[in-house]
């Protein structure tokens, strides 16, 4: 079993839709939860991060962490064609080095 | 800053040949990571360095893979001999210690095709 599970999609939505992207994980030691966005033929870029449980909002993006369920989500409101990309969840521990475990990534297509 | 620089951007080689991928991290960053990305396996960490010292190479798939970081501004990932199953996009990333979430800055990747 992988430490981090993420549905690879693809997920196709119309412009303006609310998008929900999710990951589950098995290692309760994870404390930092991140979302990276990767455009086609580019490297991933950090979009948002959350420490421990709770919500974090940044513009149209909201990240949620539920440590009791080992489940994290990224919501995109009013999705735009420019949001079309692959979204990778990522997690790391607070101690023991800087090893980050990435999910497989979900490919998102937002249709105009 | 130019960001993380990787070369070559594309590499096509034949099975059995030696392949060397190169990376220049962001100046001042003290961590360097090598990843491999495929559709089947996603983004896999191969090895990472701290202050030029390898810290964790448990992701290196086989002895055919080796990585070095001779100085703070240069790292190589070598595959010898290469095999078709090594075909993937290889990313180098760097980061600066000080934040638990360890934001990693990725290069554009090297797309490797082994025939």
In whole angstroms, how far apart are CA B106 and each of A63, A90, B48? 22, 14, 13
Q: Which residue do the tokens 């609310």 mark?
A: A18
Distance CA A33, CA A22 (A): 12
With CB atoms and an 8 Å threshold, state whether B101 touches A97.
no
Contact A99 B48 (CB under 8 A): yes
Confidence of residue A97 (pLDDT cuts 50, 70, 90): low
Q: Which two tokens stand for residue B19?
A: 């392949």
Instruction: Write out chain A residues lying below 8 Å of B109, CB-based.
Output: 41-43
pLDDT band at B1 (very low <50, low <70, confident <90, very high): low
How much is the pLDDT for A10?
A: 93
Nearest chain B CA: its distance from A94 CA (Å): 6
The token duo for B13 is 């080689």
Distance CA B31, CA B72 (A): 9
- Residue A56 forms beta bridges with which residues? A63
Residue A23 CA to residue A5 CA, distance in Å, equals 6
pLDDT tens, position by position, A17-63: 999 999 999 989 898 999 999 999 999 999 999 988 889 999 999 99
Give tens-digit pLDDT for B19-35.
Answer: 999 999 999 999 999 99
* Six-digit token string for B51: 């202050």
Quick one: pLDDT at residue B13?
A: 97
User: What percent of chain A has a predicted confidence (pLDDT) above 70?
Assistant: 96
Instruction: Give the integer Cα–Cα distance in Å for A19 and B25.
Output: 34
Residue with tokens 């070369």: B7
């Amino acid at each position: 079993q992988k430490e981090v599970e993420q549905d690879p999609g693809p997920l196709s939505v119309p412009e303006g839709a609310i998008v929900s992207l999710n990951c589950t994980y098995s290692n309760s030691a994870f404390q930092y939860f991140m979302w990276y966005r990767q455009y086609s033929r580019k490297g991933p870029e950090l979009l948002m991060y959350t420490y421990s449980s709770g919500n974090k909002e940044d513009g149209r993006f909201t990240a949620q962490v539920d440590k009791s369920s080992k489940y994290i989500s990224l919501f995109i409101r009013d999705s735009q064609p420019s949001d079309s990309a692959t979204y990778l969840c990522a997690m790391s521990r607070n101690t023991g080095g800087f090893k980050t475990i990435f999910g497989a990534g979900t490919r998102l297509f937002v249709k105009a | 800053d130019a960001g993380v620089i990787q070369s070559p951007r594309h590499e096509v080689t034949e099975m059995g040949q030696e392949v060397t991928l190169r990376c220049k991290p962001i100046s001042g960053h003290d961590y360097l990571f090598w990843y491999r990305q495929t559709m089947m396996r996603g983004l896999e960490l191969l090895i990472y360095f701290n202050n030029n010292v390898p810290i964790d190479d448990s992701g290196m798939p086989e002895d055919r893979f080796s990585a070095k970081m001779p100085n703070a501004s240069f790292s190589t990932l070598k595959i010898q001999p290469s095999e078709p199953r090594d075909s993937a996009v290889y990313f180098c990333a760097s980061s600066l210690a000080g934040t638990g979430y360890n934001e990693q800055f990725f290069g554009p990747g090297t797309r490797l095709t082994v025939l």
